[in-house]
A and B are shown apart, each in its own frame.
Chain A
Amino acid sequence: MPGIANPQELAAYRTRAVQAQARFKGRVLVCATGCRALGALALSRGLRERIRAAGLDADFEVVETGCHGQCARAPLVLVEPQGYLYGPVKVEDLDEIVQATLVEGRPVERLCEPAGDHVWTTVEEIPFYRSQVREVFRDCGRVDPRSIDDAIAHGAYEAAARALTGMTPEEVIAEVTGAGLRGRGGAGFPAGVKWGICRKAAGGPKYLICNADEGDPGAFMDRALLEGVPHQILEGMLVAAYAIGASRGFIYVRAEYPIAVEHIGLAIEAARNLGLLGRDILGSGFDFDVEVRMGAGAFVCGEESALIASLEGHRGTPRPRPPFPAIQGYDASPTTINNVETLGNVPGIILKGQAHYAGIGTATSKGTKVFALAGKVRNTGLVEVPMGMTLRQIVFDIGGGIVEDRPFKAAQMGGPSGGCVPAQFLDLPIDYESVKEVGAIVGSGGLIVMDEDTCMVDMARFFMTFVQEESCGKCPPCRTGTRHLKDILTRICAGKGRESDLEELDRLSAEVKVSSLCGLGQTAPNPVLSTLQHFRAEFEAHIREHRCPAKTCQGLFRYEIEPHTCIGCGICARNCPARCITGDKKKPHLIDPDECIKCGLCFEKCPYKAIAKV
C-alpha cells in the first residue's frame, strides 16, 4: 500500500476516499459495539443481504459503527443522509427499513422515537440529542472504526498534519493551554501545562501513555471512543507526542474491553501501513509509534504511578509523588499520561482553534464533557454537553427523566472518588469546581441516577466494598481504613449500627483522606462523606429505628401481601423456600412474618404485583 508522505498527499487521499463514498446515495449505520450485546451484528448482516437482494448494493453502504449514544434504544440503526434514527430494531424490521427508507426515502415511524401523538424521526429532532454539543463524539457512530479510509474521509489526521508540519511543539502546547483543556480522567489538571512540564523536563527518551484503564463503575465513554473513533484517539496521541517530544507511546486498556482492544489494534496497524505512525510522519521528521498493553484487572492501575508500575511488569502499586511522571515516569524518564477523552479533544482544538474551544463551557472549565448516563434514567447512554449545563438539563431534558416518572433522589457522580448529589442541587451548573463544592466530583463522567428505591447507606457501603477490594494494600490508611469504614457501614445496613458510628465514620474518613498514598485512598471516603452530608436522616433511621427508608437493606423491611390485589393463585406459596406463605385457593394469601427469611422470591414471582415492601 502506498504511504502518505506529506500533508498534500493526505489531502489527495482524503479526496479519493470522499469520492469513493460519494458513489453511494446513502449509508446505513449500525452500531456494532455497544449494541452488539443486543444482536446488532445480525442486523448489519441482514441489511446487507436484503440490500443485495433488492439490487441496491451500488446505492447503499452498510457500515458497522461505534456508539450512537442513545443506548436506551439499542440496537440502533441510523440512515444517512436523512438522519433517521431507528431503535430498538429487530431483524423482522429490516424489510420495512429497506423498502420504506432506502427505496421510498421515507421514515419507518414505528421505529422512531415516540413524542406523544407524533414521532421524532431524525437525530436533529430527538430531544436526547438536541441539547448536546458533540465535539469529541462528532464522528462516533458515523464512521467505520475498522476503516482508516472512512476516518480520513471524515477528516482524520488533518489536525496531526497541521500540528506536525505547521506548528512548533511550543505552539501546540500554547494552543491546548489557551483552549483550557483539562484532564478528563478525573483530576482536571490542565493538559497543556502537563505537556509543557514534560517537554521541558531533562532526560529522555520521553514517553506518552494513553490511560484507557477505565475502571470507574458507571463510566464507559473511553470504551466507546476507542471502539468508535480509534483514529481520533491515535491522532490525539500523535499531536501530544509531538508536543512533548516522545517517540514511543502506550495505550493501557482494560482487558474487559475486547472490542476496544481489537479496534485500536486495527487502527494502529492501518496507520503504520500508511506511514501515519512510524518514521518521519507526514514528512515532518517526527517519529512516533504506539504499543497496546492490556490491563490485568486492577482498578488501582488507573492511578498514573500504579499504571507505570504495571507497564514496567510489576504489581500495580502507586508510589509517592513528587517526582511526578512528567519528570520521572516510565523507565524513570519523563512521561505524560493522558486520558482517552482528553486526547479525543485534541484534534478538534488544533483544527478549530483555542478560541472555539474556550468559547464553550464556564470560566474555569472549558469545552464539553461526556457523561455516561445510567441507573434509573429513561435515556441511558452517552451524552456530551457543554461544561456548565445543569444536572436538571442532563437528567430531564436529555435523559428524559426518571423511569416511571418517579421522583429523583440523587445522582452519583465521579464513581468511587465522587459522591451523591441530591435533588436540591438539580440546578447546579456542572463544572469541576461547582460539583466539588457539593461533595462529589465530575470525575471521569459516570452519572448514575437514583430514585427513592436506592438506599444511600447501602450506596456508601457499595463503594466502600469496591474500594476495599481494589485497594492495593501498600499504605495502611487505605488498606485498613477502608476496611473499617466498610465494616461499620455493613453493620448499619444490617440494622446493628451504634449511635457512635456516624461520628466514627466522619473521623475515620477524614484520616483516610489526608494520610493515604494515592488518589484512590485520598478520595475513597468521598462516597461516605457525601451521603452522610446529604442523607444523614437515612443513616439515623437505620441505626435508631432499624428501618431502611428505601426498603433495600434486607432485614430492615417486611414483605406483605396486599389482600385487595392478591387473587390467591398460589405462585408465591409454591416458590417460598421458607414455606411461610399460606392461604386458600382464590383467597388472599398471608406471609408469616416470624418465619419469613426476607429472600424476596415471592416479590419477584408474583405476577399481580400484590406483594409490597413495608
Chain B
Amino acid sequence: MTEERAATLREAPAVDLAAAREILDRMHPVRPGDLIPLLQKLQGAYGYLPADVLHEVSAATAIPLSRMYGVITFYSQFSTSPRGRHTVRVCSGTACHVKGSRELLEAIHHEIGVEDNGSTTDGRFTLETVACLGTCFLAPVMMVNDEYFGSLSPAQARAILKNYA
C-alpha cells in the first residue's frame, strides 16, 4: 500500500454501513469466488470502496483485508478514494489513437485541470483513459458517465464538458 493510499484510508470520513450490510445479506453466504461481484456491488452503492466498508466486509466474510486490497489494486475499475460526480472516459484505443485521441486528452486535461486517473478537487470530474470502448466507428470518442460523444475535435470535447456541473 502506498503512503498516499494509507493516508486516504486513515482520513476517510465515517460512512453509513447500512448499504454494505444489505448487500452482504443479499449475497450470503459469500464464497471466496464472489469477491469481485461483491466489490462491484459495493462500489456501485458507495461510488468507491470506503475503508470502513472493507473492514466490515472482512469481518463479515472472513476474507482477509490484505486479499481484498490485492484484488482492489489489481483491477482498474476499483477505487478506494471518492470519485468525481461525473466520470469522463477517454478512449485511447487504436482507432481513436489514429484519429487523434491524444490531442483530445490534452484538451481535456487543460479544461478540467486534472491528469489521467485523477479527480478534480471540487469533486466535479474523475478522468480516466480506457484502452478501448468498443465504439471505434465513433473515433475519437469519450464517454461522460453513460453517454457517448463521438467524432470529437478537442474544441468540441471542451465545450461538452462545460455542460456538466
Contacts and interface: CB of A to CB of B under 8 A. Distances in A.
A148 B17 CA distance: 40
B139 A374 contact: yes
Given A255-B40, A374-B95, A375-B99, A313 B76 contact: no
A34 B135 contact: yes
Interface residues of A, number: 57
B164 interface: no
A466 B103 CA distance: 17
A411 to B, nearest CB: 11
B95 A256 contact: no
Of the listed residues B77, B94, B146, the one surrounded by the most CB atoms of chain A closer than 10 A to its CB is B94
A454 B134 contact: no
A297 B76 contact: yes
A135 interface: no
Contacts of B155: 604-605
Contacts of A600: 103
A505 to B, nearest CB: 20
Interface string A393-413: 000000000000000000010
A312 B134 contact: no
Nearest to A415: B94
B94 A72 contact: no
A375 B33 contact: no
A601 to B, nearest CB: 9
B135 to A, nearest CB: 6
Interface stretch (A149-157, A211-219, A358-366): A211-219
B131 A466 contact: yes
A472 B70 CA distance: 12
A502 to B, nearest CB: 23
Contacts of B134: 214, 219-220, 223, 254, 256-257
Contacts of B136: 218, 220, 372, 374-375, 380, 448
A483 B90 CA distance: 23
A557 interface: no
B98 to A, nearest CB: 5
Contacts of B131: 215, 217, 299, 466, 469-470
Contacts of A258: 146
A564 interface: no
A312 B32 contact: yes
Interface in B85-116: 92-95, 97-99, 103
A409 B21 CA distance: 57
Given A71-B137, A372-B136, A454 B103 contact: no
A375 B94 contact: yes
Interface in B147-165: 147-150, 153-155
Given A256-B133, A450-B98, 14 more contacts: A34-B137, A217-B131, A218-B136, A255-B77, A294-B36, A294-B37, A296-B36, A310-B36, A312-B33, A313-B32, A314-B70, A412-B94, A462-B94, A604-B153
Interface of A: 34, 36-38, 71-72, 74, 214-220, 223, 254-258, 293-299, 310-317, 331, 372, 374-376, 380-381, 412, 415, 446, 448, 450, 454, 462-463, 466, 469-470, 472, 600, 604-605
Interface of B: 31-37, 39-40, 70-71, 74-78, 92-95, 97-99, 103, 130-139, 141, 146-150, 153-155
12 contacts: A217-B94, A219-B132, A220-B136, A293-B37, A295-B77, A314-B70, A374-B139, A375-B98, A375-B99, A462-B97, A466-B131, A605-B155
Q: Which 10 A-B pairs have the closest CB atoms?
A: A37-B148, A71-B137, A374-B136, A217-B93, A296-B75, A297-B76, A313-B35, A374-B95, A217-B132, A220-B134
